[in-house]
Amino acid sequence: MKDKIYYKSILQNSTIVIKISGKIINDKNNVENIVEDIKELFSNIKNLKIVIVFGLGMQLDKYILKNYKRKSIKHQGRRVTNKEDIQAMKRISGEILIDLYSLFSKNNINSFPIPVSRKDLIIAKKRPIIKGIDFGSVGDISNIDSFHFQNYFDYYDLILMPSLVLDKDSSEILNINADTVAMEVAAALKANKLIFISDVEYIADRKNNRISVVNESKINELIENNTISGGMIVKVQNALKALQKGIEKVHLICGTKKNCLLKELNTEEGVGTAFEKNYVEY
């Protein structure tokens, strides 16, 4: 049985990218618990660097329904974003960013907030109309400049950002799926771990039993038999892409559980589902 000291040792000098969903961000207790875990990680792991990408889907859906009297439009789990949506996202993401930055500061975590990614940090282009579907002000990432991230890490331990970027040509503000941003950032930084924190405990089989570790073959099987569906497909597809791009391990954990990060990273059994490229199922 591997112990806590072992897991701390393998995380030294590592980079971790964490995506926190809007549902988790919306609950103050969840956020405070996660920040406490991050503080503990920084206290015990040398030269640890963390990037946090936060989502705001739930907040945006509520805002649109309340203020625009309509529902959000999504296609295959991905949001169609118009100009009204972008204005709402600017407002919502700004509030979340300030609150998170304040909380990290309160816990003496040296963080750097990025309200919208520079054109030379995350290089993105507005998505064209594909098969008759116009996603509006949605972007696709063409490149990420890891050098700029490393420059930030020379002065800060944690980078905090939403999934808003600028079009590389027009400077139009674009929305990108936060899971995708986290995956691409993790790949560009050659991160040791990519962690998705949502309200989903883990990937379960048809008998609702937790699957602690999966590989690409297992995920494709679960998608084909509809065990994984909806927005979760986007998440697991990004997890698989991260593995293909060299990320050592991807984790899916539930942010409503106390010490979810510590239990997933410091114990052999974990609490969620881990994605490993070379995992062999027996």
- Has residue 282 been placed in a domain? no
172 Cβ partners below 8 Å, 6+ apart? Answer: 126, 137, 166
The answer to the question of residue 151 being in a domain is yes
- Three-state DSSP at 123 gives strand
pLDDT score recorded for residue 7: 62
Q: Is residue 66 part of a domain?
A: yes
- 59 located within any domain: yes
Q: Which amino acid is at 277?
A: K
Query: Which carries the bigger pLDDT value, residue 165 or residue 3?
Result: 165
In this prediction, residues 230-241 reach a mean pLDDT of 81
Give burial (CB, 10 Å; 0-12/13-18/19+) of 271: buried
The long-range contacts involving 263-270, CB below 8 angstroms and separated by at least 24 positions, are 264/195, 265/7, 265/11, 265/41, 265/193, 266/4, 266/7, 266/8, 267/4, 267/7, 268/1, 268/2, 269/212, 270/212
Q: What is the average pLDDT across 4-32?
A: 89
> What's the token pair of residue 155?
């002065």
Span 267-279, mean pLDDT?
84
Q: Report phi then psi at 184, rounded to 5.
A: -65, -40
* Residue range of the domain that includes 176: 4-275
Does the residue 281 lie in any domain? no
Does the structure show a pLDDT above 60 at 126? yes
Question: Quick check: is 149 in a domain?
Answer: yes
**Dihedral angle sign, alpha carbons of residues 48, 49, 55, 59:** positive
What confidence category does residue 4 fall into, taking pLDDT thresholds of 50, 70 and 90?
low
In a domain, 261, yes or no: yes
Q: Is the pLDDT of residue 1 over 60?
A: no
Residue 280 domain-assigned (yes or no): no
Angle between helices 28-44 and 83-106 (to 10 degrees): 50
Task: State the CATH number of the domain containing residue 106.
Answer: 3.40.1160.10
Domain count, the chain: 1
| Cβ-proximal residues to 31 (8 Å cutoff; 6+ apart), any chain | 20, 24, 25, 99, 100, 103
> 48: closest CA among 158, 155, 190?
158
Is 279 exposed, middle or buried (CB count within 10 Å of its CB: 0-12, 13-18, 19+)? middle
Whole-model pTM over 0.85: yes
Reported as a pLDDT band with limits 50, 70 and 90, residue 229 is confident
Residue 282 has pLDDT above 80, yes or no: no
Average pLDDT of the residues of the chain: 91
Mean pLDDT of 2-17: 77
